[in-house]
């Protein structure tokens, strides 16, 4: 299966390769046609005629200068052999050649004709202005002939075609590179999101992605992280409820069996105490009281497990959270006189949607545990605030706090970390919070002791 990147690049190639090929073919044909229409033949003929005319003109001027010099109509410049060291280089070369006479072009651009004649004691140089820069004409003629030769050899055609191909293909190649870079930049976050979804689908609910890419893709990754966090939280809640359910079944069975044994024992002992009139009546009475007390203690434990196993109907309604928690704190203050109580409520807390009886039991348990943790003199702080559709409440104490081992097993049934505890109070509290659509977790508060966070749905 092709990747998104491959599909986009393939689609772009399919859409652009045919127009590019047609453009290159048409441009090549136009270059060929343009070169064929170029006046190469006319340039060749004109340059040849110009060369012939220049040669004829040069020959005629040379003959005329010679006749004028022989007739004395032109005055020449004499260079004596005795002054050889002062001669111009051209004159010295002519003397050394041994020739009797010679015509040449002089001046910076060949605009002067010179005729040199050899004598017995030196050289006479006659000069005449031509009015035409012969050297410049020679250079222009050579350039024209070179262009004609290049045109006829095909070098110009190949050069023009190659240049056109480069200019036409370069933007296409640059666009392809930009496209590949952009597609790779776009597909990388999508691939990361796909891998994350696969991992979540395979059961890894703790997967989180680093938001990257454009704004829309970054928002999609943030939404994925929120979904994964919610899935992880939901899975933990379901697992916790499943464990509680197993404990509920065990509690129901144990409660039933223990009650079947305790009831006749208590009734029999009470009857024994009532009918006992012997001399050991006081002893039997004390023994009976001890037995009854122990049986009552066992009954209390059975009732606690019965509460854990019970499934009361949940009635969701609007509950004034601040008022209810304030009432719970007021009820507990006389029993814990050395404890300082403090409340702090943010804006928008208001009411929550929950079962009021379950909610009252939750905060009674948390507040009483916090008060017991700092009963020797400390502080219990309650702080509530709202986040979106959730209301969060912290119950924090200044007690000794909780170790990591305690935190890990705090909500497990039948595990207690305080003297006389049965280990099911927090289990029942969390179960009640889950039934209300919320949850309870251990967190870190501003006070040094334990801090529990209750999350509930805002009404």
CATH of the domain at 261: 1.10.287
According to the model, what pLDDT value does residue 270 have? 67
Q: What is the phi/psi pair of residue 312, to 5°?
A: -70, 150
- Give the residue with greater pLDDT, 236 vs 372: 372
Contact 54, 113 (CB under 8 A): no
Same domain, 297 and 324: no
Q: Which two tokens stand for residue 65?
A: 């200068």
Range of the domain at 23: 4-37+154-186
Q: Are residues 421 and 377 in the same domain?
A: yes
Averaged pLDDT, 309-314: 68
**Domain identity same for 271 and 379:** no
pLDDT tens for residues 102-140?
Answer: 888 887 777 888 888 898 889 888 888 887 787 787 887
Q: Is-above-0.85 flag for pTM?
A: no
219 versus 382: the higher-pLDDT residue is: 382
By CB atoms closer than 10 A (0-12, 13-18, 19+), residue 11 is exposed
Q: Out of 186, 207, 240, pick the residue that ends a domain.
A: 186
Q: What is the pLDDT of residues 83-97, one digit of tens each?
A: 888 888 888 888 888
User: From CA 140, how far away is CA 152, in angstroms rounded?
Assistant: 19
Domain shared by 251 and 161, yes or no: no
pLDDT of residue 16: 79
Supply the CATH number for residue 426's domain. Answer: 3.30.565.10
288-296 long-range Cβ contacts below 8 angstroms, 24+ apart: 291/265, 292/266, 295/262, 295/265, 295/266, 295/269, 296/266
CA separation for the pair 62, 284 (Å, rounded): 167
- Residue 204: inside a domain, yes or no? no
Domain boundary among 274, 289, 309: 309
Structural tokens at position 203: 């059961």
Number of domain units in the chain? 4
Do β-strands 112-118 and 351-354 pair in parallel, antiparallel, or remain unpaired? unpaired
Does residue 299 sit in the same domain as residue 335? no
Question: Please, which residues have CB within 8 angstroms of residue 303's CB and are 6 or more apart in sequence?
Answer: 255
The answer to whether position 56 is within a domain reads: yes
* 327 inside domain: yes
Cβ burial, residue 428 (10 Å; 0-12/13-18/19+): buried
Residue pair 132/111 in contact by the 8 Å Cβ criterion:
yes
What confidence tens digit (pLDDT) does each residue in 266-308 have?
A: 655 666 666 665 556 665 666 666 677 667 766 666 666 666 6
State residue 187 phi and psi, 5-degree precision. -80, -25
Residues 324 and 404 in one domain: yes
Q: For residues 110 and 363, which has the higher predicted lDDT (pLDDT)?
A: 363
The two structure tokens encoding residue 183: 């597609």
Task: With respect to residue 206, please indicate whether it lies within any of the assigned structural domains.
Answer: no
Taking Cα atoms as reference points, which of 196, 143, 120, 165 lies closest to residue 30?
165
Which has more pLDDT, 449 or 222?
449
Residue 456 structure tokens: 């509930």
Tens digits of residue pLDDT in 394-426: 999 999 998 888 888 888 876 665 665 556 788
Pair (20, 69) in one structural domain: no
Residue 399: closest CA among 376, 422, 368: 376
* pLDDT of 1: 39
Residue 293 inside a domain? The answer is yes
What distance in Å separates the CA atoms of residue 411 and residue 358, rounded to the nearest whole number? 17
The answer as to whether 202 is a domain residue is no
Task: Indicate if 269 and 384 belong to the same structural domain.
Answer: no
CA distance 378 to 397: 8
- CA torsion angle 257 262 264 270 (round to 10): -170
The arithmetic mean of pLDDT across residues 162-167, rounded, is: 75
Domain match, 348 and 249 both: no
Tell me: do 52 and 28 sit in the same domain: no
DSSP line for 242-287: HHHHHHHHHHHHHHHHHHHHHHHHHHHHHHHHHH--STTHHHHHHH
Given a contact cutoff of 8 angstroms between Cβ atoms, the answer to whether 42 and 90 are in contact is no
Residues 45 and 120 occupy one common structural domain: yes
pLDDT at 363: 95
Would residue 305 count as lying in a domain?
yes
Q: How far apart are CA 136 and CA 149, in angstroms?
A: 20
Judgement on whether residues 358 and 443 belong to the same structural domain of the protein? yes
Handedness of CA 224, 228, 230, 231 (dihedral sign): positive
> Could you tell me the CA-to-CA distances from 309 to 63, 252, 363 in Å, in that order?
139, 6, 20
Instruction: Return phi, psi of residue 384, to 5°.
Output: -125, 145
* 20-48 tens-digit pLDDT: 778 778 776 776 665 554 555 666 677 77
Please compute the mean of the pLDDT values over residues 52-66 and round it to a whole number.
84
Let me know if residue 210 belongs to a domain: no
Which of 131, 150, 169 finishes a domain? 150
């Amino acid at each position: 299966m092709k990747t998104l990147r491959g599909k986009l690049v393939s689609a772009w190639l399919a859409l652009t390769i045919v127009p590019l090929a047609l453009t290159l073919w048409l441009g090549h044909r136009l270059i060929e046609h343009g070169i064929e229409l170029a006046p190469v033949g006319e340039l060749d003929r004109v340059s040849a005629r110009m060369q012939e005319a220049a040669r004829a003109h040069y020959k005629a001027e040379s003959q005329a200068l010679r006749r004028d010099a022989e007739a004395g109509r032109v005055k020449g410049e004499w260079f004596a052999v005795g002054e050889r060291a002062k001669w111009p280089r051209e004159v010295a070369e002519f003397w050394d050649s041994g020739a009797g006479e010679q015509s040449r072009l002089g001046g910076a651009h060949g605009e002067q004709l010179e005729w040199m004649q050899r004598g017995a004691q030196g050289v006479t140089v006659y000069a005449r202005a031509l009015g035409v820069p012969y050297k410049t004409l020679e250079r222009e003629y050579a350039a024209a002939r070179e262009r004609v030769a290049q045109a006829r050899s095909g070098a110009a055609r190949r050069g023009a075609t190659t240049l056109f191909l480069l200019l036409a293909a370069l933007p296409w190649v640059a666009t392809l590179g930009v496209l590949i870079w952009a597609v790779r930049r776009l597909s990388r976050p999508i691939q990361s999101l796909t891998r994350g979804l696969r991992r979540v689908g395979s059961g890894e609910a703790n997967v989180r992605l680093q938001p990257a890419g454009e704004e829309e893709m970054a928002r999609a990754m943030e939404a994925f992280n929120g979904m994964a966090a919610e899935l992880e939280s939901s899975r933990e809640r379901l697992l916790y409820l499943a464990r509680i359910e197993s404990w509920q079944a065990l509690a129901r069975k144990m409660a039933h069996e223990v009650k079947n044994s305790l009831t006749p024992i208590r009734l029999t002992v009470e009857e024994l105490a009532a009918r006992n009139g012997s001399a050991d009546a006081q002893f039997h009475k004390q023994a009976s009281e001890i037995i009854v007390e122990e049986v009552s203690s066992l009954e209390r434990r059975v009732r606690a497990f019965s509460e854990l196993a019970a499934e009361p109907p949940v009635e969701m309604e609007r509950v004034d959270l601040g008022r209810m928690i304030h009432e719970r704190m007021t009820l507990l203050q006389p029993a814990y006189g050395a404890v300082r109580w403090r409340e702090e409520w943010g804006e928008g807390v208001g009411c929550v949607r929950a079962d009021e009886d379950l909610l009252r039991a939750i905060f009674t348990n948390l507040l009483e545990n916090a008060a017991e943790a700092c009963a020797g003199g400390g502080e219990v702080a309650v702080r509530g605030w709202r986040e979106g559709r959730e209301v969060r409440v912290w119950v924090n104490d200044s007690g000794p706090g909780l170790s990591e081992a305690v935190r890990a097993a705090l909500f497990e049934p039948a595990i207690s970390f305080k003297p006389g505890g049965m280990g099911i109070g927090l289990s029942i509290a969390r179960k009640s919070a889950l039934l209300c659509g919320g949850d309870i977790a251990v967190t870190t508060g501003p006070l040094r002791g334990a801090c529990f966070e209750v999350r509930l749905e805002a009404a």
